[in-house]
Amino acid sequence: EPEVTQTPSHQVTQMGQEVILRCVPISNHLYFYWYRQILGQKVEFLVSFYNNEISEKSEIFDDQFSVERPDGSNFTLKIRSTKLEDSAMYFCATNPVGTDTQYFGPGTRLTVL
Amino acid sequence: AQSVTQLDSHVSVSEGTPVLLRCNYSSSYSPSLFWYVQHPNKGLQLLLKYTSAATLVKGINGFEAEFKKSETSFHLTKPSAHMSDAAEYFCVVSSGTYKYIFGTGTRLKVLA
C-alpha cells in the first residue's frame, strides 16, 4: 500500500539555522499539507498546498516558513531561521482529488538547540 | 468555524473491558469527522471516517464511532480493549477547505 514518506526522521539544529524537511507524497495525490505537534500538545495545521501554490496557511506559518514542490515529487517545508519554539514533530499529509481523507507520513522530529 | 473537543485527556481501562473516547464537534455545516490513532513515536493512522453515509461508522481494529447530530458528538468505542490499543487518539474535523482541525487528544491506557 502506498505511503507518505518523510526525511529525515529526526533533525537536530542550532537556533538560527535553516532546515528543510522533506516529504514524498503518494503518487496520485494532489493536495499537500504540513502540520506540527509540539511535545505534549495537539496537532496544528500549518499550510496546505495545491496546484503549486499555497491554498491556506495558519497564523503560525509566518515569513520564516516556506513550502515548495521543487521537482514534482518532493514536497518541502523550509524554516529559514529556526527558533527554540520550532522544536516539534512535523507531519506531512496528502490526499487525492475527490476526498478529504488525509494520509500522514511518520513525521520528522525537529530539535532546535 | 469548526472545532472539536475531546472531553477526556486520559482514559484508563482494563484489558477486555469496553473503551469509550468522547468527542464533541462544532460545525456550521455537515462535517467530515475522523478518528486517528498515534502510537508512541509513530505517525497518525486513520481509524475511521464519517461522511454522512451512515451514522454508525466501523473502523479498523474493532473500533467504531457513532455520529449523533442532536448531541454534536462522535464518540469512539470498542467492545473489548486490547493491550495494543494503548495510544493517543485524536478526533478531527475537516474544514470546508480540507484542512484538519484536531482535538487535544485522549491518551488511552490499557491495564493488564
Confidence of residue B18 (pLDDT cuts 50, 70, 90): very high
A93: left (phi over 0), alpha (psi -120 to 50) or beta: beta
Say yes or no to pLDDT of A15 above 80: yes
Let me know: does B97 contact B29? Beta carbons within 8 Å.
no
How is residue A42 written as a grid cell?
Answer: 495537539
Confidence of residue B34 (pLDDT cuts 50, 70, 90): very high
- pLDDT at site A40: 84
Q: Report how many Cβ contacts below 8 Å link chain A to chain B.
A: 48
CA gap A40, A88 in Å, rounded: 10
Say yes or no to pLDDT of B28 above 90: no
| Least confident range of A42-46, A72-76, A101-105 | A72-76
DSSP assignments along B67-79, one per residue? EETTTTEEEEEES
- pLDDT at site B66: 94
| Least confident range of A82-96, B11-25, B47-61 | B47-61
- Indicate which of B27, B30, B32, B100 best probes the interface with A, i.e. most A CBs within 10 Å of its own CB: B100
Chain A CB within 8 Å of residue B31 CB? no
Let me know: does B67 contact B57? Beta carbons within 8 Å.
yes
Average confidence (pLDDT) over B78-95 = 94
CA distance A43 to chain B (A): 6
Which residue in B has a C-alpha nearest to residue A35's C-alpha?
B100
Chain B CB within 8 Å of residue A48 CB? yes
- pLDDT at site A73: 82
Kind plus residue range of the DSSP H or E element containing A11: strand A10-13
Chain B CB within 8 Å of residue A32 CB? no
Chain A CB within 8 Å of residue B77 CB? no
Q: What percent of chain A has a predicted confidence (pLDDT) above 90?
A: 75
The CA-CA-CA angle for residues B45, B47, B48, to 5°, reads: 135
- pLDDT at site A28: 85
Each residue's pLDDT tens digit, B57-74? 999 999 999 999 899 999
Average confidence (pLDDT) over A47-63 = 92
Each residue's pLDDT tens digit, A58-79? 999 999 999 998 887 899 999 9
Q: What percent of chain A has a predicted confidence (pLDDT) above 70?
A: 100
- pLDDT at site B95: 75
CA distance A74 to chain B (A): 19
Say yes or no to pLDDT of A113 above 90: yes
Chain B CB within 8 Å of residue A65 CB? no
CA gap B50, B33 in Å, rounded: 5
Chain B residues inside the 8 Å CB shell of A111: none
Q: How far apart are the first and last CA of chain B?
A: 41
